[in-house]
Chain A
Amino acid sequence: MRKTSYKLKTPLTIEKVKKLRVGDRVRISGTIYTARDASHKRLMAALKKKSLPIPIRDQILYYTGPTPVRPGKVIGSAGPTTSFRMDPYTIPLLKKGLRGMIGKGERSQKVREAMKRHQAIYFAAPGGCGALLSRYIKEAKVIAYPDLGPEAIYRLEIEDFPVIVAIDSEGKSLFRRE
């Protein structure tokens, strides 16, 4: 496995994605959006009405539901949740130009194939490191579905957020499964 380290800035264009290969260490800076189970369900309904509350093209979705923020802090713990639960909602978002996802664990074959078709990338963040990862989040604001509490969509400003390329735009996956 090659061991390349990159610094990446959002938005994530196809040209940036094409350079990345499975196993690359990447530090991401810029704007990303959170979404998990309940907010993905709402995004699907919003897609049908053509009224998405966030930009999707060349953006990154981070699968997380943070803990409540303490006074004077930016956010609570905010590590990745299991990504495959979002698989049923992912392909329509890829069709709309979603370029990157951050989560933990393997994705379905269908999602991997769609990622290849639409030139998208999937990053793994270290699972179970919610406290550690909070330190790379510099700003956080709920921008859609506040009634969903921890499942609301947050816009995050991140700096050098540490991830590994887990599935690249050629559909190659880092996870070892028979």
Chain B
Amino acid sequence: MRRIGPERIRDVVAQLCIEANYQLPKEVIQALRKARRRENSSLGREVLDQLIENARIAEEGVYPLCQDTGMVEVFLEIGERIRIEDLEEAVQEGVRKGYRKGYLRKSIVSPLNRKNTKNNTPAIIHTKIVKGERLKIIVFIKGFGSENVSATGMLLPSQGREGVVEFVLEKVREAGADPCPPIVVGVGIGGTLEKSSLLAKEALLRPLGRHHAKKEIRSLEKELLKKINGLGIGPSGLGGKITSLAVHIETFPTHIAGLPVAVNINCHALRYARKII
């Protein structure tokens, strides 16, 4: 049994919180540059230039990418031959430390009385037990401009693939300029109510622009991206052909009576950082 101490986990989580809030992943910057080349609206190109410049300033480590430094979601893949103590507390302590040291905004409140917890916890933790003796930690920073316009729908089997396309387009159209386009769209199809939502979130964490391995899903991703970019919302919602940088879909078998679909929208700043211990 390999042992990983809680202090190590705390420090890695803290570091990943800071990294994700200040450095856009390389693939996201590449996607923004590519969008800049393809956008034909001059206002849209201006916005994309500003987003690229914003990422450059944030990388200097003084100003976070966005003032909404999000709710933290931590995805853990835990090797079955590792022994860890106080995992939950180690992760939460890491988030507290990262948000304090990184001068990040504390945005988490009690849902009804709106009282701020003042340290940006609790983070939401998802765990998966896998083979081996390594621990993979992914910190995902979710801003609420885009989380607010995300949705899950319990479609009927009769609505099928066409219904899924309609549902996704409807949600993106309704979202308009609010989620800071160009957006990344995560779609979860199948499972149950919460499974589809989790699939949509996990889809966002796939390296940007990498298509699904299955041909059937890949073609749906391409079709949706084309249709979303045909909506004309454009960068910052000011019109243009780049409304979305990518559509990622994950699927799971579901019940004969149902077709759950979740759409999780992310702003252009897809903020995640990962480390394997």
Which chain A residues have a beta carbon within 8 Å of chain B's beta carbons? 1, 23, 38, 64-70, 73, 76-79, 81-82, 84, 104-106, 124, 126-132, 134-135, 149-150, 164, 174-178
Contact = CB atoms under 8 A, between A and B. Distances in A.
Nearest to B57: A131
B107 interface: yes
Is the contact region of chain A dominated by helix, strand, or loop, or is it mixed? loop
B106 A149 contact: yes
B177 A70 contact: no
B132 to A, nearest CB: 37
Contact of A78 (B57, B67, B107): B67
B57 A128 contact: no
A71 B264 CA distance: 36
Interface string B45-60: 0010011011101100
B148 A82 contact: yes
Given A131-B54, A177-B176, A81 B236 contact: no
B8 to A, nearest CB: 26
A56 to B, nearest CB: 24
A124 B238 contact: yes
Interface of B: 43, 47, 50-51, 53-55, 57-58, 62-69, 103-107, 114, 116, 118, 145, 148, 173, 176-178, 180, 232-234, 236-239, 267-269
Contacts of A164: 43, 238
A67 B64 contact: yes
Given A64-B67, A76-B103, A131-B62, 20 more contacts: A38-B114, A65-B68, A65-B105, A66-B67, A76-B67, A77-B65, A82-B178, A105-B237, A106-B237, A127-B237, A128-B65, A128-B267, A128-B269, A129-B51, A131-B63, A131-B65, A132-B53, A175-B177, A176-B237, A177-B176
Given A77-B67, A132-B50, A127 B103 contact: no
A154 to B, nearest CB: 12
A79 B238 contact: no
22 contacts: A1-B43, A38-B114, A65-B107, A68-B103, A69-B103, A70-B62, A70-B103, A73-B62, A77-B63, A77-B66, A104-B177, A104-B180, A104-B236, A106-B237, A126-B54, A127-B236, A130-B54, A130-B65, A132-B50, A150-B105, A177-B173, A178-B173
Nearest to B267: A128
Contacts of A178: 173
A134 B118 CA distance: 23
Contacts of A79: 66-68
Nearest to B100: A68
B166 to A, nearest CB: 14
Contact of B64 (A64, A77, A104): A77
A66 to B, nearest CB: 5
B67 A105 contact: no
B180 A66 contact: no
A163 to B, nearest CB: 11
A132 B64 CA distance: 10
Nearest to B118: A149
Given A127-B236, A176-B232, A150 B176 contact: no
Nearest to B177: A105
Nearest to A67: B105
A117 to B, nearest CB: 24
B103 A67 contact: yes
Contact of B106 (A81, A132, A135, A150): A150
B234 to A, nearest CB: 8
Contact of A127 (B62, B69, B180): B180
A84 B63 contact: no
Contacts of B67: 64-67, 76-79, 81, 130, 150
